[in-house]
Structure 1
């Protein structure tokens, strides 16, 4: 019976966060009328498949792509759930406080062994106290307290405080305890094993970058667990198919040696308190007026045996401040593309 009582619901599998006692059953991610959300940003000229998304009724949208601003679970905002789920360390501490504005997708808890996508690469002149990130997060949450979270990050970032310049850098990061005592960016501590002949090393500058009014430059990133060894391999390609660049040994991790429980992907813009947030992606919001926003395409999973598979995971889409930054639903053939970005200028 659709509304019969159940004593326990863990439909989202967010640890004990969303455990419901004695709650009536209802479909997850149901839209609440009048619940807000930014109007129309998802329907883009670059993406005809999204036409009409803004005006479509909730039931017409795939559950895994419903906007976070219009989705609730027993009255609890899912964006807050994501924040509680992954803590405040989507971006490990690098020595300054501030606010992170995110536009990303996060998978529901499950068993994941790899991910691949091709993302646009952009560059901006920004200042110390600002940071731009386009990234993939491979996560095993470990225990319910979150203190033993194993995580790999990989993508591109502009981060003057770390690199001493405003260039766009390829980056990686790892930890096995939520960055309490372990982990580092790039190769600033033992961890990442660079393959001889790698097309680049973590921390290297990516050149050239995309011109918002001209040519798009793209990087393909493939990260996956090697079944025989438990090592996590990374492949990289610049405007071409990816090639092996190195791996994180299984010995670095605890739970991530077996699998990831979640994958996140999208963009972030960070700024210290009182400083306007920088642009994200190309600096343009997804818009019906242009195709200028940055994209992630060819989104696919990698199965336990190393085979590329269609992306069929459900996700929570979160936008910290949608009038500054936005993320579209996942769309296209085999649900393999999303578009995100924003102009910035938010002040926390």
Structure 2
């Protein structure tokens, strides 16, 4: 089933199911997974990396709860129900096909790991889209956890900033304009538009499965 034959709504639903199934859980993917994320636009040239600075918040989670900020990089060309290539962080060394994970806070980013090209099929060439934001997971019988700082988008909410995409020549391009977003439970979580290469996201959760 070719990805271009889907409507945007169908594509979001399918991606939600695929990414949800890829997250760790104790019941084979049957627990609820909720998102508040942005997604890049379709681009025939593809994407070769992504950069962002993320807030990190710590709070107590109950058993069966998971909450995180994440970046998803994938290539879903071809039969994407069977051949989806995806990783959660990184950017490409164009000549090798490897995806490199850099980390740096108040300093120049340094390579801390990599995903070899040999692990992938299509993703060793380029990414077709990138998603970034927050997601939570929770088991049946417990309530959904807080996302980000636990606050809806505001000055007190978690945020991504200094958003940049990497092109095939290694150039970084700030994301100044808003991108499509997905919020799967608007009563519990939200995400702001991208403005000035920054957005905020999150919410208190509290819904039972």
Same fold (TM over 0.5): yes
Please show how residues 167-316 of structure 1 align to structure 2 within 5 Å.
Answer: 223-287=90-154, 291-311=155-175, 315-316=179-180
Gaps of 5+ in 2: none
Matches of 1:314 and 1:257, distance apart in 2: 27
The one of the two structures with greater contact order (alpha-carbon pairs below 8 A, sep at least 6) is 2
Please show how residues 1-348 of structure 1 align to structure 2 within 5 Å.
Answer: 14-18=3-7, 78=9, 80-85=10-15, 87-90=17-20, 92-94=22-24, 95-96=26-27, 97-110=30-43, 111-154=46-89, 223-287=90-154, 291-311=155-175, 315-332=179-196, 336-348=197-209
TM-score, normalised by the number of residues in structure 2: 0.89
Contact (CA 8 Å) 1:99, 1:272: kept in 2 or not? Answer: yes
Provide Cα deviations, 1:292-316, integer angstroms capped at 9, x if missing partner: 1011000010111212112267632
Matches of 2:5 and 2:178, distance apart in 1: 19
Contact (CA 8 Å) 2:38, 2:182: kept in 1 or not? Answer: yes
TM-score, normalised by the number of residues in structure 1: 0.55
Contact (CA 8 Å) 1:119, 1:297: kept in 2 or not? Answer: yes
Provide Cα deviations, 1:199-246, integer angstroms capped at 9, x if missing partner: xxxxxxxxxxxxxxxxxxxxxxxx211111111011012344421112
Quickly say closer, same or farther: Cα 1:263–1:341, change in 2 above 3 A. Answer: same
Matched residue count: 203
Matches of 2:36 and 2:42, distance apart in 1: 19
Matches of 1:242 and 1:266, distance apart in 2: 21
Gaps of 5+ in 1: 1-12, 19-72, 155-222
Contact (CA 8 Å) 1:224, 1:306: kept in 2 or not? Answer: no
Matches of 1:311 and 1:268, distance apart in 2: 21
Matches of 2:120 and 2:6, distance apart in 1: 25
Matches of 1:285 and 1:240, distance apart in 2: 30
Provide Cα deviations, 1:300-348, integer angstroms capped at 9, x if missing partner: 101112121122676321111112100001012xxx0010010110123
Q: CA deviation at 1:274?
A: 2.6
Contact (CA 8 Å) 1:132, 1:268: kept in 2 or not? Answer: yes
Provide Cα deviations, 1:109-159, integer angstroms capped at 9, x if missing partner: 3200000000000111112210001000001013234211000113xxxxx
Contact (CA 8 Å) 2:3, 2:78: kept in 1 or not? Answer: no
Q: Which has the larger radius of gyration?
A: 1
